[in-house]
Amino acid sequence: MTRWYSERKRDHYYKEAKRQGYRARSAFKLLQIQKRYGILKKGGVVIDLGASPGGWSQIAARYASMVIAVDLQPMKSIEGVVFIQGDMTEEETLNKIRSYASEVDAVISDASPNISGNYTMDQARSVWLCQNALKIAKEFLREGGNFLCKIFEGEDYPEFLQEVRQNFRMVKPHAPQASRKQSSEIYIVAKGFRKKY
């Protein structure tokens, strides 16, 4: 795909997000994943990690009875969404999640590190966030629950993917159409959590 084309596409999703009232272009990525894999169930509880400004939470709230959204940055309120401003890698934040739910149906993470420009470092930070998202999934997901996580492809990616495979019945790496082609971000879609009691 040429740079011209991918910029046009990015612009298209940006305008569409504005037109449809989504807070972020990334909403379309979740919509595409949901259409294909059905990771969000009606009436479930969802943890949305790296949630701000709230595009994914807007989509998740259409399905869920409650969305627990977490981000370092503030987020404007959305009906059906409780927001925790905090670091998803810290115990204090997990305690706040615990105060809302002990078991959830899906954990979704679009968390990204601040891009430093040093890809090796950014990729390692992305994997670190994913490891924390998986840790949260392992604690909170009910048997059969679903997990979705954005990751930058690179050195540690295969090992992380393997770890996800050990915990879920179906795992698929997915590059949504709404992603920029130049970026190396990929979404790991995992369904059917095998809970270890």
Q: Where on the chain is the footprint of ligand SAM (CB under 6 A)? A: 23-24, 26-27, 50-56, 70-73, 87-89, 110-113, 129
Closest of 34, 105, 93 to residue 67, by C-alpha: 105
| Nearest approach, Cβ of residue 85 and ligand SAM (Å) | 9
Other C-beta atoms lying within 10 Å of the C-beta of residue 26: 23
Cβ distance to ligand SAM smaller for residue 14 or 143: 14
Does residue 138 carry a catalytic annotation? no
Question: What Rg value do the Cα atoms of the chain yield, rounded?
Answer: 16
Which residues contact residue 183 at a Cβ distance below 8 angstroms, ignoring those fewer than 6 apart? none
Cβ distance to ligand SAM smaller for residue 31 or 144: 31
**DSSP labels, 95-107:** HHHHHH-S-EEEE
Which residues contact residue 162 at a Cβ distance below 8 angstroms, ignoring those fewer than 6 apart? none
Q: Which of 41, 138, 150, 196 is catalytic?
A: 150
Cβ distance to ligand SAM smaller for residue 113 or 144: 113
| Nearest approach, Cβ of residue 160 and ligand SAM (Å) | 16
| Nearest approach, Cβ of residue 162 and ligand SAM (Å) | 23
Q: How far are the Cα atoms of 52, 124, 137, 156, 185 from residue 177, in angstroms, in the given order? A: 21, 24, 26, 24, 12
| Nearest approach, Cβ of residue 61 and ligand SAM (Å) | 12
Cβ distance to ligand SAM smaller for residue 32 or 144: 32
Q: Which residues are catalytic?
A: 150
